[in-house]
Amino acid sequence: MRRRSYKYLVLAVFLLLPGSLFAQAIPDISLPVIDGIRSARNGEEASTSLMLIMLVTFLSLAPAIIMMMTSFTKVVIVFDFVRRALSLQNMPPNQVLFGLAIFLTIFIMAPTIQEFNKVALNPYLNGDGMTTTEFVQEGVKPFRSFMIRQIGKDGASEIALFVEMSGKDRNAIKSVDDIDTYILIPAFMLSEIKKAFIIGIVIFVPFIVIDLVVASTLMSMGMIMLPPAMISLPFKIILFILVDGWHLITYNLVLSYSA
């Protein structure tokens, strides 16, 4: 009994000793207290607070808005089609596909971003007399040019759809400059989704042929209980590697935006 009690005593000392040493090593840290919050005294302070809240809200939504005005939508949809065509569930993972889509979007949008820095961001930061309203108006122009160029003639139906739903007169629109940005962005997104689905169908065709060949071969051999997807998966991956699929898809995606 004494040995057991000594054992517990030694164990307690070893458990409490690091805690006491750690407590002595860390000095007392005083936590700051926010004691400056009060109600607005006049309308100017209230408007400033509201502008700050709106700015924080806009910054939180800015990544999503920027992705809608770039090539990210089509790129990430095409990559997901590739994974589904190969019958792969989570390989590559979503984080890898999203990361690749983001950096490929940066590569595609590099000329547009450089134009945005030249005409809007640098003059605004350098204090060249550009107001915030002028910064927004000048900064959106490169992205509008990019979206209009990508919509082209094939996306005229999407623009007409949103112009009609907005209640504007179609005859009043003489050129693309007359199209409002809130109409142009959803039209561009629909156009990008339509193009991504067309590319996805083209990607699916050869892999569907492989599935049909494997399924018919297994049925002719009487192997009905063997899942065709399990047999066709290696052949799909081998075909994708032999044709250098990621290279072809990436090259053609970038080429579709350089035209």
Residue 51 lies in a domain: no
Q: What is the pLDDT of residues 8-28, one digit of tens each?
A: 444 444 444 444 433 444 455
Residue 87 lies in a domain: yes
Alpha-carbon distances of 46 from 23, 40, 54, 191, rounded to whole Å: 45, 5, 12, 42
Residue 227 lies in a domain: no
Q: What is the pLDDT of residues 144-201, one digit of tens each?
A: 888 888 887 666 777 777 777 877 766 666 666 677 778 888 888 888 888 889 988 8
pLDDT over 70 at 213, yes or no = yes
Alpha-carbon distances of 45 from 36, 55, 132, 248, rounded to whole Å: 14, 15, 19, 57
Q: What is the pLDDT of residues 215-254, one digit of tens each?
A: 887 777 777 777 777 777 888 888 888 888 888 888 888 8
pLDDT over 60 at 112, yes or no = yes
Residue 82 lies in a domain: yes
What one-letter code names the amino acid at 75? V
CA–CA separation, 184 and 145 (whole Å): 10
Residue 30 lies in a domain: no
Which tokens sit at 12? 């307690």
**Entry pTM:** 0.70
Q: Which domain holds residue 134?
A: 67-200+244-258
Residue 174 lies in a domain: yes
Residue 156 lies in a domain: yes
Residues 6+ apart with CB under 8 A from 168: 183
| Total structural domains within the chain | 1
